[in-house]
Amino acid sequence: MKIVYNTDYGGFSLSDAAIVRYLNLKGLAFTVEQDKYGFTRYNVDGHDHWYNRDIPRYDPHLVQVVEEMGSAANGSFANLTIAEVEAGQRYRVDEYDGFESVMTIDDYEWQIAT
């Protein structure tokens, strides 16, 4: 299984081109507009509060976008990378100041209560 995560401080985000590519791959209807501050907003399937950070990191369309576009998929302060985790393996995305890592149960040192 492939998982997208951010390896730079600042947080996960996609470029505008990557968002458009993702939404097209998903077959979602959307419109693009600029808010009064100059930020791009996406109205997706009638939801005006759609946010790319809510995309599941394991979404195969997200993985495809990052694989196809490489660094052009990176949003502001992002450096998107793909990790592979074996089927059935527990994992989580740890984050500190936007810098993320994909961790499995084997990445932690466990203590046993006595």
Amino acid, res. 9: Y
The reported pTM is 0.88
Tokens of 78: 């992002």
Q: Give the pair of three-digit tokens for residue 64.
A: 């495809």
9 in Cβ contact with 86 (< 8 Å) = no
Helices (H), the chain: 16-26, 60-69
Among residues 78, 82, 96, the alpha carbon closest in space to that of 14 is found at 78
Q: Kindly give the confidence (pLDDT) of every residue in the chain, 114 residues in length, as a single tens digit, with 9 standing for 90 and above.
A: 999 999 999 999 999 999 999 999 999 999 998 888 888 889 998 887 888 989 999 999 999 999 999 999 999 999 999 999 999 999 999 999 999 999 998 888 888 999
